[in-house]
Amino acid sequence: MRSALSPEAPAAERSSGERPVDLVHLTRQCFGDKRLETELLRLFMRQARQIQGGLDAEVGDDSVASLPAGDLLHTLVGSARVVGAHRVASLAEAYEASLRGRDRAALSAQDRADMRAAVDEACGYIGGLLDAA
Residue range 65-122, pLDDT digits in tens:
678 889 999 999 999 999 999 999 999 999 999 988 776 677 888 999 999 999 999 9
Q: What is the pLDDT of residue 75?
A: 96
Q: How far apart are CA 37 and CA 23, in angstroms?
A: 9
Q: How far apart are CA 92 and CA 75, in angstroms?
A: 9
Q: How far apart are CA 83 and CA 79, in angstroms?
A: 7
- Determine contact, residues 13/121, Cβ cutoff 8 Å: no
Burial 38-51 (b: 16+ CB within 10 A, else e): bebbeebbebbebb
Task: Quote the distance between the C-alpha of residue 62 and its chain's center.
Answer: 20
Sort 15 into a burial class: Cβ within 10 Å, 0-12 / 13-18 / 19+: exposed
Which domains can be identified in the chain, with CATH numbers?
11-132 (1.20.120.160)
Q: Give this prediction's pTM.
A: 0.82
Evaluate if residue 1 carries a pLDDT over 60.
Answer: no
Q: What is the pLDDT of residue 58?
A: 58
The pLDDT tens digits for 19-40 are: 999 999 999 999 999 999 999 9
The pLDDT tens digits for 8-17 are: 444 444 344 5
Q: Which residues, 6+ apart, have CB-to-CB distance to 4 below 8 Å?
A: 23, 24, 26, 27, 37
C-alpha dist (Å) from residue 87 to 1, 31, 54: 24, 23, 19
